[in-house]
Amino acid sequence: MSASSKIDIRSLTLDQLVEQLTSMGEKTFRAKQVYEWLWKKSAHSFAEMTNLSKELRALLEEKYEIHAVTIATQQVSKDRTIKFGFRLYDGHLVEGVLIPSKDRMTACVSSQVGCSLSCKFCATGFMDRKRNLTGDEIYDQVVLIGRAAMEHYQIPLSNIVYMGMGEPLLNYSGMMYSVDRITSPDGLGMSPQRITVSTAGVAKMIKKLGDDGVRFNLALSLHAANDAKRNEIMPINETNNLDVLAEALDYFYQKTGTRVTFEYIVFNNVNDSIDDAAELYRFWKRVPSKVNIIEYNPIEFADFVNTSDEKLDAFIAYLEKKKVIVNVRRSRGKDIDAACGQLAIKN
């Protein structure tokens, strides 16, 4: 059987795997053992499955393949952030990041090769979208980053953010499959409350998250609470404007009971005035939410500049006076282009 005609074994559900292995004359429990190797023990080869007979391993090798993700490059920042270049089975590269902080160890993972949304402040937005990642490719990033956390810092992974390359809600099935495998008791068993999926604002799919009753956190890359400004920064706003997003986000909250986080990068002389803060406050009132203020990380394709400390302090003070919950997120890994908005494969 040629490599191209082999089945990607991690694309099969447990029921499908049981069906295939029993049709080969194997007992049901063998399929469960294989499934455990794939998802609990994160095996990347059939040779690792040592409680299976050599004959069965050879049969699996002949019929199936594992599209394992490997680490192609690794850079460590002076602030201990680690950026990974992950090679996919077909040769494509994506990036992921391990972000260590005082009270958590966070994996930032990618969901697409490139991105189709062209946000003006994001390096990935200047790349073409080549394809969606499969759920197992997203899962592998989490596993590999988690191993690095233990190897470098002896601390297990505590959080996962889907804030790497790509728009997760435009890879809905891959994203959801990966969350299932990461959170399921027969997978990695992580709590969904420790996962945050970040979207540029795909209203239809935000509602679908509500209908599907997801238990993970949702973050919206907002960056302007004014349609004209947001259209300029994020072209997706032209088809998913603030009114449409507010309705979708409120629907999500009504269905899940989970408050949304608004991510807001404060650019100098773009969205950093007190008027901008007032617009953000008015939008915040429409949806149960909190606000993360994010430092801008310059990229070579864009002319944006970080706001001044004085303007930032005034912006935050205005929101806090209005009783908005505000967190300021300082950038990590800037010296290795691993910070928010900087991920891009440089050939």
Q: Which two tokens stand for residue 320?
A: 């806090």
At 117-163, the pLDDT tens digits run 767 777 665 577 789 999 999 999 999 999 999 999 999 999 999 99
Collect contacts of 231-240 with beta carbons under 8 A, ≥24 apart: 232/120, 233/119, 233/120, 233/121, 233/267, 233/270, 233/271, 234/117, 234/119, 234/120, 234/200, 234/201, 235/117, 235/118, 235/119, 236/117, 236/119, 236/200, 236/201, 236/202, 237/201, 240/201, 240/202, 240/203
Residues 135 and 236 in one domain: yes
85 in any annotated domain: yes
**Which of 16-20, 114-118, 174-178, 203-207 is predicted with the least confidence, judged by mean pLDDT?**
114-118
* Structural contact between residues 59 and 6, judged by C-beta atoms closer than 8 angstroms: no
Q: Are residues 16 and 158 in the same domain?
A: no
For residue 344, is it within any domain?
A: no
Same domain, 53 and 95: no
What CA–CA distance (Å, rounded) separates 45 from 64? 10
Section 313-338 average pLDDT: 79
261 and 292 in contact (C-beta within 8 Å)? yes
Annotated active-site positions, please? 95, 340
Residues 24 and 173 both lie in one domain: no
| Per-position b or e across 117-144, b if 16+ CB within 10 A of its CB | bebbbbbbbbbebbebbbbbbbbbbbbb
Give the per-residue pLDDT at 305: 81
Q: pLDDT confidence of 341, banded at 50, 70, 90?
A: very low
- Window from 40-44, 56-60, 127-131, 328-332 with minimum mean pLDDT: 328-332
Calculate the average pLDDT of the chain. Answer: 90
Q: How many residues does the chain have?
A: 347
Which residue has tokens 């994020």? Answer: 234
Q: Which of 45-59, 87-101, 118-132 has the lowest mean pLDDT?
A: 118-132
More confident residue, 129 or 206: 206
Whether residue 45 sits in one domain with residue 112: no
Shared-domain flag, residues 161 and 48: no
Closest by CA position to 186, among listed 13, 4, 7, 6: 13
Q: Which of 46, 65, 84 is the last residue of a domain?
A: 65
Q: Is residue 342 part of a domain?
A: no
In a domain, 347, yes or no: no
Give pLDDT tens digits for 22-41.
Answer: 999 999 999 999 999 999 99
* Long-range contacts of residues 189-196, Cβ cutoff 8 Å, at least 24 apart: 189/40, 190/157, 190/160, 192/216, 193/217, 194/158, 194/159, 194/160, 195/159, 195/160, 195/161, 195/162, 196/159, 196/160, 196/161, 196/162, 196/163, 196/261
Q: Check whether residue 46 and residue 150 sit in a common domain.
A: no
Query: How many domains in the chain?
Result: 2
Report the pLDDT value the prediction gives residue 337, as an integer from 0 to 100.
53
Boundary of a domain, candidates 43, 65, 87: 65
170-179, 203-212, 327-336: segment of lowest average pLDDT: 327-336
14 token code pair? 């447990």
Same-domain check for residues 74 and 57: no
CA angle 252, 273, 235 (to 5 degrees): 50
At residue 101, the pLDDT reads 87
Residue 341 lies in a domain: no
Of the three residues 65, 98, 116, the one that is the final residue of a domain is 65
What is the pLDDT averaged over residues 267-280? 93
- Is residue 190 situated within a structural domain? yes
Least Cα distance to 136 among 35, 24, 22 occurs for 35
Instruction: Examine residue 346 and state whether it is found in any structural domain, yes or no.
Output: no
Instruction: Provide the pLDDT for residue 340.
Output: 47
- The answer to whether position 275 is within a domain reads yes
What is the full DSSP assignment across 37-51? HHHTS--SSGGG-TT
The tens digit of pLDDT for each residue in 284-296 reads 999 999 999 987 8
Residues 27 and 85 in one domain: no
Same structural domain, 158 and 189: yes
Lowest model confidence (mean pLDDT) among 130-134, 206-210, 339-343? 339-343
Region 35-48: what's the mean pLDDT? 97
User: What's the rounded Cα separation, in Å, for the pair 198 and 166?
Assistant: 10
Shared domain for 139 and 26, answered yes or no, is no
Round to whole Å and give the CA distance between 85 and 4.
25
Given a cut of 80, whether residue 332 has pLDDT beyond it is no
What pLDDT, on the 0 to 100 scale, is given for residue 134?
A: 96
Q: Residue 336: pLDDT above 60?
A: no
CATH number, domain containing residue 12 = 1.10.150.530
Q: Which domain holds residue 43?
A: 3-65
Does 20 share its domain with 169?
A: no
Check residue 79 and give its pLDDT: 86
Q: Residue 119 maps to which CATH number?
A: 3.20.20.70
Give the residue-averaged pLDDT of 180-205: 97
